[in-house]
Amino acid sequence: MTERKIGPFILGKQIGAGGMGIVYMATYVENGKEVALKVLPPGLSGDAKMLKRFEREIDILKRLTHPNIVKYYGGGTHQGQRWYAMELVDGGSLQDILKKKKRLSWDQAVQVGRQLCAALEVAHNAGIIHRDLKPANLFVTKKGKIKLGDFGIARDTEATALTAAGKTVGTYAYMAPEQIQGNVPISRKTDLYATGCLLYEVLTGQTPFVADNPAEMLMQHLNDDPYNVREKIPECPLALDQLIERLLAKSPDDRPYDALAVHTELTEILQKSQQVVSEVSPEAMAAAGASKGSTVDPETGELKPKKKKKKKDNSAFYEKTWFLVTCFFLLIAAAVWMVLGPNEDALYLKAKEAMATGDDSSVVKFDDAKRMFLLPYLEQYPEGKHVQEVSGWLDDAEVAILERQAENMARGKRDGRNRHEKDCIAALQAERDKDRNLLESIELFQQMLNSLSSENAQPAAATSGEKADATEAGGIIGDPKYWRVLAERHLKSQKEALLTHSERNRIITERMTAAEKLLASDKPEEGQQILALFRDIFRSERDLDPWLDYARFRQNGEPAEMPKQ
C-alpha cells in the first residue's frame, strides 16, 4: 500500500475527527518521531470561516507552552490542505478512561483537577478561554499526566457558544449558563463551570445534568441544581464537594475567582490526605501487609514495594491496585502522624527546594510552596531555627501571587477589590500600553507608593503565627506591605528602562510638554503633579539634573527652557 504523506510526515491511522479537522497518527520522516497531525479536510479548506478558525487554533497553541497543554510542533500547507503537528499523547483521553472505569477515586479526581487548573491558568493569563472543556479534550499520558488539547473553538467573539462549529450534544453537558443565555460575557469563569461539570463526572460517573435532548439539558443548566457529590459518593471529602458546588454556581460571580484559586483549594484537599500517609511507621506498613522496605509515595499515596529486578510495569495510573491497600492502613497512619508530625529540617528543605527559582516561576509554583511547605512550617514551628528565612520566602510567594492576580485583572480591564489594587491595576495597564509615555506608568507606581506612605500603612512586624493567620485566602489583598513591595519592584524596573533608553530625552520632553499644556489649561494642578512626581522619582539621578532644575523652576511658576538633546 502506498504511503500517504503530508509535508514531512507519513500519515498513519486516524485517531480523531471533529468539526474542526481530522487527526492522524503520523511519523516525522527525518527522525521517526511520532506525532498527532491535525488536517483540515479538503472540503473545508475553501471555507474562509473554517480556515480562520483553524489558523486561530494554531496561533493559540503557539502561545501556550506548559507541561499540561498539548505541545505544538509546526504547521504548513500541502496541496492546498492546511495541517499542523502536535504532541502525540500515548494514553488516550480521559473520556476513554471513564468509559472503561466509569469513575475515578476522589484523590485521582483531585489530581486531574489540579493539572487542568494549571493549564487553564496559563491559557487564561494569555487571554484564551477554552469553551469546550470535557473528558474527550483532556489527554492522558501512560504516566498519568493530563494534557489539555483541542482549542478549536476557543473564545471567539464573532460566534455564540450554541452555533460555533464543533459543538456536539455531549458538549452541552458542560455548558455554563452564560454560554447558553449570552447575557453575560464569556470569561475564565465559564471554563471554571465546565471544570466543575468535569470533576462531578469524574467522581460520580455521570455529568451533573442528564437529559433526553439538548434543550432539556440546557434548561437544567439554567434552572436546576444537581445532587451533591457526597450523596452519590459518600467518601468524597466535604471540602471537595463544596468546591464543586461553587464551581457549578449559576452566576459567575459566585464561582471561585480564577483557576489558580481552584488549584489552591484542590492542593489543600490533597495535602490533608497526603499528610496522613507521608510518614508511616514500619508497624503500620506491616499491618497493611506491605513487604519489608516498602514506602508510600507522598504525592500519589501509592504503596511502593522494595525495588527488585522485575518486568517493568507500563500500566496507566488508574489501573494501579495500591489505593485499596493504602486505605487499609490510613487510619493507623493518621494516628502516627498526629503524634510525630513532620520533621522541621525536612519541611524546611522542601520549602527551600520549592522556592528555588529554576525555570518555573509560575504562580502555581509559589502557591504550592506557600500551602504545602511555608505556612505549615510557620504554623508548626513558630520558634523554629529557620523562621526568618521561611517568613521571607512566604513574603516573596505572597507578592508573586498578588502580582499575577493584579496582572490578570489589568489584562481583563476589571476593577480592583480595594484602593491599592485599583491603583496597581491602573499602573500595570499603563505599563502594558506601548502607546503611552513610559513616564506615565512610572508616575502611577510612585503615586501608589505615596498613597501607601501617607496612610503610614506599614504594619508592625507580626509574629509567625499572626503571619500565618494573615495570609489565609484574601488576607494579602488588604495588607499594604505586599502592595508596597510590588510597586517598588515595578517602579525600579521602569526607572531603569527609562534611564537606559536610547530615546530617554525625547520621552521626557514629551511628558514635560504634556505638563506644560496642563499648566496652561483649566487643569494646572495635574501639570504640577507631573512636575512634582518627576522630582520625587529622579531626585538622586545626577544625569537628569538639567531636567530636575527645569521641573523645579516650572513647579515654582518660574520660566525655564527644556534641556536640549
Q: In terms of domains, do 390 and 479 share one?
A: yes
Instruction: Provide the pairing of β-strand 146-148 with 138-140.
Output: antiparallel
Q: In terms of domains, do 486 and 513 share one?
A: no
Q: In terms of domains, do 108 and 193 share one?
A: yes
Would you say residue 283 has pLDDT above 60? Answer: no
- Using the 3D structure, point to which of 86, 108, 137 is the last residue of a domain: 86
At residue 465, the pLDDT reads 43
CB distance 40 to 81 below 8 Å = yes
Kindly report the CATH number assigned to the domain that includes residue 39: 3.30.200.20
- Using the 3D structure, point to which of 273, 307, 330 is the last residue of a domain: 273
Q: In terms of domains, do 326 and 411 share one?
A: no
Would you say residue 301 has pLDDT above 60? Answer: no
Would you say residue 276 has pLDDT above 50? Answer: no
Would you say residue 256 has pLDDT above 70? Answer: yes
At residue 472, the pLDDT reads 36
Tell me the percentage of the chain whose pLDDT exceeds 90. Answer: 40
Q: In terms of domains, do 162 and 189 share one?
A: yes
Would you say residue 161 has pLDDT above 70? Answer: no
Q: Does a structural domain hold residue 451?
A: no
Q: Does a structural domain hold residue 19?
A: yes
Q: In terms of domains, do 128 and 242 share one?
A: yes
CB distance 409 to 416 below 8 Å = yes
Would you say residue 184 has pLDDT above 80? Answer: no
Q: Does a structural domain hold residue 565?
A: no
Q: In terms of domains, do 209 and 107 share one?
A: yes
* Highest-pLDDT range among 47-51, 353-357, 405-409, 445-449: 445-449
DSSP H/E element including 138: strand 138-140
Q: In terms of domains, do 470 and 371 share one?
A: yes
At residue 168, the pLDDT reads 33
Predicted confidence band at 363 (pLDDT cuts at 50, 70, 90)? Answer: low
Q: In terms of domains, do 111 and 44 share one?
A: no
Would you say residue 193 has pLDDT above 90? Answer: yes
What total of structural domains would you count in the chain? 5
Kindly report the CATH number assigned to the domain that includes residue 221: 1.10.510.10
Considering the chain, what is the average pLDDT of its residues? 80
Phi, psi at 456, each rounded to 5°: 50, 50
- Using the 3D structure, point to which of 86, 121, 150 is the last residue of a domain: 86
Q: Does a structural domain hold residue 235?
A: yes
The pLDDT tens digits for 55-102 are 888 888 888 889 999 999 988 888 878 889 999 988 889 999 999 999
Q: In terms of domains, do 255 and 304 share one?
A: no
| Residues labelled as active-site residues | 132
Q: Does a structural domain hold residue 561?
A: no
Partnered with residue 419 across adjacent β-strands are none
Higher-pLDDT residue of 158 and 139 is 139
Q: Does a structural domain hold residue 150?
A: yes
Cell numbers found for residue 516: 506644560
Tell me the percentage of the chain whose pLDDT exceeds 70. Answer: 78
Q: For residue 308, give the 3-state DSSP assignment.
A: coil
Higher-pLDDT residue of 340 and 346 is 346
Would you say residue 155 has pLDDT above 90? Answer: no
Give the structural domain span for 72: 5-86
Instruction: Provide the pairing of β-strand 303-304 with 295-296.
Output: antiparallel
Q: In terms of domains, do 109 and 23 share one?
A: no
Would you say residue 29 has pLDDT above 60? Answer: yes
At residue 298, the pLDDT reads 44
Q: In terms of domains, do 193 and 221 share one?
A: yes
* Highest-pLDDT range among 152-166, 407-421, 506-520: 506-520
Predicted confidence band at 282 (pLDDT cuts at 50, 70, 90)? Answer: low
- Residue 219's contacts (CB-CB under 8 Å, 6 or more residues apart) are none
The pLDDT tens digits for 203-237 are 999 999 988 888 888 889 988 888 889 888 988 99
The whole-number average pLDDT for the span 487-500 is 94
At residue 20, the pLDDT reads 73
Q: Does a structural domain hold residue 564?
A: no
Q: Does a structural domain hold residue 450?
A: no
Give CA–CA dist 291/293, Å, rounded.
Answer: 6
Higher-pLDDT residue of 343 and 382 is 382
What sign for the dihedral angle of Cα 535, 538, 542, 547? negative
Would you say residue 165 has pLDDT above 70? Answer: no
The pLDDT tens digits for 385-435 are 999 999 998 888 888 888 887 887 787 677 787 889 899 999 999 998 989
